[in-house]
Amino acid sequence: MSEINGKRGVLARAFDILGCFTGGEPERSVADICAATDLPPATVHRMLATLSEHGAIERTGRGRYRLGPRLWRLGHGVQDIRLLRDCARPALVDLYASTRLPVALVTREGDRLHIIDKIAGRNTVKVWEQLGSPVLDEHPAGLVLLAWGHDPDRRPASRPLRSEEQFAWRQTLAQVRQIGFAHSPTGAQHTSPLVWAAAPVFAEDQTVSTCVMIGGRRGQHPPISLGRQARTTARDISAGLRAGLEDPALGRTHA
């Protein structure tokens, strides 16, 4: 039993280390990893060496580390992920080509947003840097994922919500489900230069784990218009997923 527990401990630490590379910064130093995982440097060095040996991690020329190509190949081989990517990428490209705005396919990682794929020009690099990894209830894409999530009444918050706040929260999510997308606030009191909108991508069983997101500049790109564009693209991807599941040439078929 102790041997099994030891192996599970090693796997847990390995995944803790791999999880350090899922944020906006693709490269990490040993000090970064130690700070994020609370693991001692000797353990981090040893596990990085093992992960590097198996292609899961690779060392850069600056003495830092990043995810290795073997993880990409493993993820690429997952059929559902491959089908999602194959359906989503052309639709995202079309949306970008028609708007020249940053667009992305987004999911959740815990209580934060995680970008799966994005299409953007070189002049939008700062947009993604400013976005970071917001908490779900602080971004329209997060509201979409929460509105169609397994527990829509649970709001990621630093404190318990009062009853009147809980009612307002349910109303917010109900409105998102009614119109089919969420967008940045449009009131004059909101001064952020960027606005975002997002719409859900539906799997075959009508669950939602990803959404289409598009960003623009406040005063130049109306958030509601962006939301309608995101909704159209998300519907195209959802239809593509259904077609792929039914066509043996495109994806897996029903048993």
- The candidate with the shortest Cα–Cα distance to 125, out of 142, 104, 106, 102, is 102
Q: What is the predicted pLDDT for the residue at 254?
A: 35
**Two tokens, residue 143:** 């509201």
Q: Tens of pLDDT along 221-237?
A: 999 999 999 999 999 99
Q: Estimate to the nearest angstrom the gap between the alpha carbon of 123 and the chain centroid.
A: 21
Q: Tens of pLDDT along 148-184?
A: 987 766 777 656 677 778 888 889 999 999 999 999 9
Sheet strands side by side (includes 182-183): 112-119, 103-109, 208-217, 194-202, 182-183
Residue 247, phi then psi, degrees to nearest 5: -105, 120
**Two tokens, residue 72:** 């990409």
Residue 77, phi then psi, degrees to nearest 5: -85, -10
Mean pLDDT of 37-55: 89
Q: Do the beta carbons of residue 141 and residue 211 sit within 8 Å? A: yes
Report how far residue 195's alpha carbon sits from residue 71's, in angstroms, rounded to the nearest whole number: 33
Mean pLDDT of 80-109: 86
Q: What is the predicted pLDDT for the residue at 103?
A: 94
Residue 168: CB atoms within 10 Å: 11
Q: Do the beta carbons of residue 147 and residue 176 sit within 8 Å? A: yes
Residue 6 pLDDT exceeds 50: no
Return the higher-pLDDT residue of 107 and 81: 107
**Two tokens, residue 75:** 């993820």
Report how far residue 117's alpha carbon sits from residue 119's, in angstroms, rounded to the nearest whole number: 7
The mean of the pLDDT values for the chain is 81
Report how far residue 146's alpha carbon sits from residue 151's, in angstroms, rounded to the nearest whole number: 7
Residue 62 pLDDT class (50, 70, 90 cuts):
confident
**Two tokens, residue 60:** 């850069």
Q: Do the beta carbons of residue 245 and residue 252 sit within 8 Å? A: yes
Report how far residue 30's alpha carbon sits from residue 52's, in angstroms, rounded to the nearest whole number: 13
Q: What is the predicted pLDDT for the residue at 253?
A: 37
Residue 134 pLDDT class (50, 70, 90 cuts):
confident
Beta strands per DSSP E along the chain: 57-59, 65-67, 103-109, 112-119, 182-183, 194-202, 208-217
To the question of pTM greater than 0.85 for the whole model, the response is no
Mean pLDDT of 114-139: 79
